Amino acid sequence: MRASLTQLPAAQLEVDAVAVPVVAGEALAPSAGDLDQALGGLIRESLDAGEHRGRVNEVLPLNTAGRISARRVILFGLGPRADLDGQRLRFAHHELVRALRAYGHRRLAVLQRGAPGERDLAAVVEGCVMGSWERRSRQTGARPARIEELLLVGFGAGREREVAQALEVGDAVNQAREWQNMPPNELTPEAMAQEARRIADRHGLELEVLGQAELRAGGYNLLLGVAAGSNQPPRLIRLSYKGGASPAPTGDMRLAMVGKGITFDSGGISIKGAEGMYKMKGDMAGAAATLAAMDVIAGRRPPFDVMAVVAATENMPGGNAQRPGDVVTSANGKTVEIVNTDAEGRLVLADAITYALRHAATHVIDLATLTGGAKIAIGHAGTAALANDDTFWSQVEKAGERSGDRVWRLPAYADYRVLLASRTADLKNSEYGEASTITGGMFIQQFVEDRPWVHLDIAASSWNDNDDLTTVPRGPLGSGTRLLVELTELISSERR
Ligand code: BES
Ligand code: MN
Ligand code: ZN
């Protein structure tokens, strides 16, 4: 998709469709004034008649009957202003672009909504790019038309750089979604390593991929234990971007973004039910966000070191699979009783974090489709988080707000630590049965060695499978990608 700012009045644009945002209960966007005039007051009339009320995802196509060059003017709803945050705005534009597929339009103009928000431009562009992502990549029939050109009306001038950056971020989110959606017979751990290699080559990053032998040598037994039931060899992947001064000044940040990359989670011996098990192809969404974000971050060259670490393996119930009751020694020496082989994410992340710390990470943010409990706790509309450091958390929270990639921190009460205690080993990997999202995160916390750390449980936010939750697009969402890019932008700007 190409995108550009235009200073021309909407009525003069050579496009297939002009999209006009409608905020519930508010007057028509000022940038639509000339358009309405050219159409003889048709837009205002439709609004006055209550044909469009500005509800989220409400779409009303109007025929322009040759009065302007665009075939259609499309009113689309943003919902009430009070509900309009960065995520809403992005998802509303996402759904606008999806709705347009039915008409086969290729050139689209989108108007600014009225009250200027400086971050609207990125939200609009990213939303439109995200809306053009196609989930049906493996269908053999004809492809629906895609928007090729996006004109931005009423967003001011001289903001080309913002537009270009938003296109890049939108593409990265779509790349993460593409990986999430890939069939698990294609996106194996080794295939993930190949994807990392492409990113490394593109930006000249250091790449390290540990296979079985190296993992054994490094004592990464938690990762190996999860991989033991699969015929696919595991991969521990690190992409390192060097932006900090060398030698590193004391107090310099070296950020590690660590992603859960379970390319298929059957549950292992504690096997999942058949219903919906296919969805566990998306259990590598944390890895997807991490790699997709790294691709953007490396291109922007922030002034500090950033590494992306991905723990990639299947969780399968093969003959060599680990058993409930097994005790495994982690890379940092803690013993873990495997009580439930389906609580595998925390195991691979524990070793991946130890690996990141061995590579001198000072701050750790992990992203994982860790617990079904995230869906119970806060559902698909945001990411559940845990943190051990208020300063680092406030940066992550701010990045979430700015990027429209919501995060909400849950409490890490000390009480829950007893739920991680094993009768046999230092820790157990599963718990008594309450607060599973929190205890899952707190298990991981045991491996960060008191470094500032944030855990993002994207189990629900990365994939919306609730047809009733219509304000969030259905299917894979690439959540965490935008937040990671914004986090590094924020840290960069705080240093300037
Ligand atoms: N990958 C799952 C979590 C998940 C569930 C992600 C639904 C996306 C949608 C994870 O490995 C898992 O199985 N978690 C268990 C942990 C439990 C056994 C402690 C869960 O949450 O049920
Ligand atoms: Mn599992
Ligand atoms: Zn899992």
Indicate whether 138 and 206 sit together in one domain.
Answer: no
Give the total number of structural domains in the chain: 2
Same domain, 199 and 231: yes
281 has catalytic annotation: no
Q: Is residue 161 part of a domain?
A: no
Rg of the chain, C-alpha, whole Å: 24
Select from 269, 339, 371 the residue to mutate for testing ligand 1; criterion: most ligand atoms less than 8 Å from CB: 371
Examine the domain organization and report whether 380 and 478 are in the same domain.
Answer: yes
The residue whose C-alpha atom lies closest to atom 8 belonging to ligand 1 is: 459
Written as one letter, the residue type at 280 is: M
DSSP string, 412-448: --GGGGGGG--SSSSEESS-SSSSHHHHHHHHHHTTS
Burial of 389-413, coded b for 16+ CB within 10 Å and e otherwise, reads beebbebbbebbbbbbbbbebbebe
349 within a domain of the structure (yes/no): yes
Ligand 3 midpoint to CA 316 (Å): 11
Q: Which atom of ligand 1 is nearest to the CA of 272?
A: 13
For residue 62, give Cα distances in angstroms to 153, 356, 404, 436.
Answer: 19, 55, 30, 49
Nearest Cα neighbor of 392 from 246, 254, 204, 274 is 254
Helix, strand, coil share of the chain (percent; to 5): 40, 20, 40
Nearest ligand 1 atom, CA 344: 11
Distance 186 CA to ligand 3 centre (A): 18
Compute, in angstroms, the gap from residue 372 CA to the centroid of ligand 1.
5
Q: Could you list the residue range(s) of the whole structural domain that residue 133 is in? A: 2-154
Q: Which residues surround ligand 3, an ion (CB under 5 A)?
A: 262, 265, 283, 345
Any domain includes 164: no
User: Closest-lying ligand to the alpha carbon of 420?
Assistant: 1
- Residue 399 lies inside a defined structural domain of this protein: yes
Q: pTM higher than 0.95, yes or no?
A: yes
Which ligand 1 atom sits closest to the C-alpha of 371? 21
Q: Quote the ligand 2 centre to 469 CA distance (angstroms).
A: 24
Residue whose CA is at the smallest distance from ligand 1 atom 16 = 343
**Does residue 165 form part of some domain?**
no
- Which of 81, 101, 272, 409 does the annotation list as catalytic? 272
The last residue of one of the domains, among 154, 180, 214, is 154
What is the spatial distance between Cα 317 and Cα 338, in angstroms, rounded to a whole number? 14
Angle, alpha carbons 149-406-351 (nearest 5°)? 110
Same structural domain, 76 and 198: no
Give the pLDDT of residue 332: 98
As a whole number of angstroms, the distance between CA 328 and CA 348 comes to 12
Q: pLDDT tens, position by position, for the chain (496 residues)?
A: 999 999 999 999 999 999 999 999 998 988 899 999 999 999 999 999 999 999 999 999 999 999 999 999 999 999 999 999 999 999 999 999 999 988 899 999 999 987 767 889 999 999 999 999 999 999 999 888 899 999 999 999 999 999 999 999 999 999 999 999 999 999 999 999 999 999 999 999 999 999 999 999 999 999 999 999 999 999 999 999 999 888 777 778 999 999 999 999 999 999 999 999 999 999 999 999 999 999 999 999 999 999 999 999 999 999 999 999 999 999 999 999 999 999 999 999 999 999 999 999 999 999 999 999 999 999 999 999 999 999 999 999 999 999 999 999 999 999 999 999 999 999 999 877 899 999 999 999 999 999 999 999 999 999 999 999 999 999 999 999 999 999 999 999 998 7
Confirm whether 159 is domain-assigned: no
Name all residues whose Cβ lies below 6 A of ligand 1: 265, 283, 340, 342-345, 369, 371-373, 430, 436, 459
Whose atoms come closest to the Cα of 313: which ligand?
3
Q: Assess if residue 162 is contained within a domain.
A: no
Residues 449 and 421 placed together within one structural domain of the fold: yes
How far is it, in rounded angstroms, from Cα 385 to Cα 408? Answer: 6
- Tell me: do 213 and 357 sit in the same domain: yes
Identify the burial level of 294 via C-beta atoms within 10 angstroms of its C-beta, where 0-12 means exposed, 13-18 middle and 19 or more buried: buried
Q: Whose CA is nearest to atom 22 of ligand 1?
A: 372
Q: Using the mean position of ligand 2's atoms as its centre, give its distance from the Cα of residue 363 in Å.
A: 26
For residue 134, give every residue at least 6 positions away whose Cβ sits within 8 Å of its Cβ, in sequence order, or none: 143, 144, 146
CATH of the domain at 428: 3.40.630.10
Note if 346 is an active site residue. yes
C-alpha 43 – ligand 1 centre gap (Å): 48
Nearest of 165, 93, 163 to residue 133 by alpha carbon: 93
Instruction: Report the atom number in ligand 1 closest to the C-alpha of 345.
Output: 11
Residues 316 and 449 in one domain: yes
Asked if 146 and 291 sit in the same domain, the reply is: no
Residues 232 and 298 placed together within one structural domain of the fold = yes
Say how many C-beta atoms besides its own lie within 10 A of residue 484's C-beta: 29
**Is residue 458 domain-shared with residue 422, that is, in the same domain?**
yes
Number of the ligand 1 atom closest to the C-alpha atom of 270: 18
Looking at residue 432, what is its pLDDT?
A: 72
- Single residue among 90, 125, 154 that ends a domain in this structure: 154
Ligand closest to Cα of 266 equals 2
For residues 185 and 119, membership in a common domain is answered with no
Last residue of a domain, one of 87, 121, 154: 154
CATH of the domain at 80: 3.40.220.10
Together in a domain, 6 and 90: yes
Please identify which residue in the block is written with the tokens 């994982």: 368
Dihedral of the alpha carbons of 182, 186, 192, 198, in degrees to the nearest 10: -90
In a domain, 139, yes or no: yes
Sign of CA dihedral 37, 76, 399, 82: positive
